[in-house]
């Protein structure tokens, strides 16, 4: 469960603040690099910045799960950049419509965590019930000399349970990532050590990063499917080999 789901204690607050600072420093170095004095023209520096962000996005999206998280990060970057720029970027941003969308995302995220817990619990209960009846049925078949195993429904429920547990993990990760990035962006865009103009430039570059990350990302279903397939492959590899008797 992410620390910010029901509240922070003092230790977790310090840990979270340290994570936000580290993230903010990384973003500062990346976003400000395009504005530092150099022999390149502004157009060349902008092109270099785009190439750097594109390479970073490609690296982070090398797996489907990474690409799914990258999309989440991109959404928050865009959200925070538009919040800072306001009317300087667009009328919807100036009217605070993105803040409404942010609040809706936070509510939906917490709802999905709870829904995933309920779904996982229901899957486990159903799997236990099916397993109990299957064991009784198998005992009866063995009494009749039938040693075959019919576990199709059990396998299906196992897959469903895996999927529900993965959803819990996914929504908790997303909630944690969103909270950390929002905190980092707040520090980055409220940095009083630089001018208002510099903070606006950061926000514009952050908006570009968000757009590139979202374009390189994938929906959460793709990432969850990748992890589920790996779990099922691992489960399959743990099965004992089938020995066939010589005729």
Residue 164 lies in a domain: yes
Within a domain: residue 108? yes
Over the stretch 142-194, which tens digit does the pLDDT of each residue have? 666 655 555 555 566 666 677 777 888 888 888 889 999 999 999 999 999 99
In a domain, 54, yes or no: yes
**For the whole model, what pTM was predicted?**
0.70
Q: CA of 124: how far to CAs of 60, 91, 118, 134, 167, in Å?
A: 34, 49, 10, 15, 14
Flag whether 80 is in a domain.
yes
Give the per-residue pLDDT at 126.
Answer: 65
**pLDDT score recorded for residue 246:** 46
pLDDT tens readout for residues 190-209: 999 999 999 999 999 999 99
| 148 found inside a domain | no
Query: 244 lies in a domain?
Result: no
Most confident of 5-14, 112-121, 133-142: 5-14
**Residue 152 lies inside a defined structural domain of this protein:** no
pLDDT at 99: 57
Residue 38 belongs to what domain range?
Answer: 10-91+101-139+158-232
Most confident of the following: 106-110, 212-216, 240-244: 212-216
What pLDDT is recorded for position 224?
81
Number of domains in the chain: 1
In a domain, 238, yes or no: no
Question: Residue 21 pLDDT > 90, yes or no?
Answer: yes
């Amino acid at each position: 469960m992410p620390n910010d789901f029901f509240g922070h204690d003092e230790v977790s607050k310090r840990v979270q603040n340290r994570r936000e600072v580290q993230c903010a420093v990384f973003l500062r170095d990346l976003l400000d690099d395009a504005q530092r004095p150099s022999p390149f023209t502004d157009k060349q520096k902008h092109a270099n910045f785009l190439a750097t962000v594109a390479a970073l996005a490609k690296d982070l999206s090398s797996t489907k799960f990474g690409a799914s998280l990258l999309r989440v990060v991109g959404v928050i970057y865009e959200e925070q950049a538009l919040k800072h720029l306001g009317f300087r970027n667009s009328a919807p941003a100036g009217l605070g419509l993105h803040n409404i969308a942010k609040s809706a995302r936070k509510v939906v995220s917490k709802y999905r965590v709870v829904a995933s817990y309920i779904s996982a619990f229901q899957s486990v209960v159903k799997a236990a019930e099916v397993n109990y009846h299957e064991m009784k049925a198998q005992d009866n078949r063995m009494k009749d000399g039938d040693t075959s195993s019919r576990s199709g429904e059990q396998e299906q429920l196992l897959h469903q349970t895996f999927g529900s547990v993965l959803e819990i993990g996914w929504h908790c990760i997303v909630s944690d990532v969103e909270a950390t990035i929002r905190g980092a962006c707040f520090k980055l865009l409220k940095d009083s050590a630089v001018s208002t103009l510099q903070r606006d430039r950061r926000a514009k570059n952050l908006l570009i990063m968000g757009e590139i990350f979202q374009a390189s990302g994938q929906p959460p279903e793709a990432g969850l499917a990748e992890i589920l397939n790996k779990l099922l492959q691992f489960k399959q590899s743990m099965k004992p080999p089938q020995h066939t008797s010589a005729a």
